[in-house]
Amino acid sequence: MDRTLNVVIAGASGRMGRTLIEAVARAPHLRLHAALDRADSPSIGRDAGDGAGLHTGVLIGSDVARALDGAHALVDFTLPVATLAHLDACRAGGVSMVIGTTGFDVAGRGRLAEAARAIPLVFAPNMSVGVNVAFKLVETAARILGEAYDVEVFEIHHRHKIDAPSGTAMRLGEVAAAALGRDLETDAVHGREGVTGERTVREIGFHSARGGDIVGDHTVFFAGAGERLEITHRSSSRANYALGALRAVRWLDGRVPGLYDMQDVLGLRGH
């Protein structure tokens, strides 16, 4: 029988935080243990379910150590600086983490890898089950189509997103690059303007747009001579990300320390 897991949600007053709180409240065998926000947030002291029209009995706070006392996992879709602070606290408290935050630099990713020696982490730029299937489809297509097809990644998100390209777009490019034996450090091209010259064979292009309330659309184009293949995923609700994150919470229960991603959670690794 599944045991009930105590879950902490970071960024409780944000769009994703509210979606996660609602998802936890409706999920079997999960319990909202605590909700966190920055110390100067006007939501401090309010019921965590206010933004979702729920009464949870859990008040939003800013004391991370207190929130983690008795918790099994923390779910974090915030900003790199906040996530890394939560990471240190989880490591000290032996609490698992599910991280959907994007925009980490090399040093930040190194800190995630270091912490994963002590606690189990699921870190993924996109927790959606559909997006992670798309990663696998892109890998397969790149491997089969090879050098004869040019790869371009397009993404569009809401006007409030602060990083570009999205973490999902970059992961799609990384998957294609790995399958093709390329390195995004040298082969990525971000947008094009002016007289750029002909496209090189090794380029993987990234293009971003921002506007309105678009949750997130991603398309990878494989353009060859006389045909093109498009792999597209469109999100119409953040609930998909939340459901994937909670699936990761359950999967982490009882795992040994390590840095995992949604390919591990969904059993897609190596398939």
pLDDT tens sequence across 32-41: 999 999 999 9
pLDDT given at position 6 = 98
- Whole-angstrom distance, CA of residue 194 vs CA of residue 162: 25
Which residue intervals of the chain bear CATH 3.40.50.720? 5-123+238-265
Helix axes 129-145, 167-180, angle to 10 degrees: 30
Query: Of 152, 171, 132, which Cα lies nearest the Cα of 222?
Result: 152
pLDDT given at position 126 = 84
How do residues 39-64 score in pLDDT, each as one tens digit? 999 999 999 999 778 899 999 999 99
Which residue intervals of the chain bear CATH 3.30.360.10? 129-235
How do residues 156-205 score in pLDDT, each as one tens digit? 999 999 889 998 999 999 999 999 999 999 999 999 999 999 999 999 99
What's the chain's length in residues?
271
How far, in Å, are 42, 88, 101, 224 from residue 168 at the CA level?
31, 25, 11, 24
pLDDT given at position 102 = 85
- List CB contacts of 6: < 8 A, sequence separation 6 or more: 31, 33, 70, 71, 72, 73
Domain at 5-123+238-265: CATH code? 3.40.50.720
Mean pLDDT of 72-96: 97
269 pLDDT more than 80: no
Q: What is the pTM of this model?
A: 0.81
Average pLDDT, the chain: 94
pLDDT given at position 268 = 83
Q: Which CATH fold would you assign to the domain 129-235?
A: Dihydrodipicolinate Reductase; domain 2 (3.30.360)
What percent of the chain has a predicted confidence (pLDDT) above 70? 99
pLDDT given at position 22 = 94
247 pLDDT more than 60: yes
pLDDT given at position 191 = 94
pLDDT given at position 103 = 85
- Using pLDDT thresholds of 50, 70 and 90, give the confidence band for residue 2: confident
The residue type at 261? D
136 as an active site residue: the answer is no
Query: Of 208, 107, 202, which Cα lies nearest the Cα of 165?
Result: 208
pLDDT given at position 1 = 53
Question: Could you give the strand order of the β-sheet that contains 216-224, starting from the edge strand earlier in sequence?
Answer: 188-190, 204-210, 150-157, 216-224, 227-235
CB-hemisphere CA count at 13 Å for 193?
3
161 as an active site residue: the answer is yes
pLDDT given at position 181 = 97
Given the residues 33, 157, 207, 218, the one annotated as active site: 157
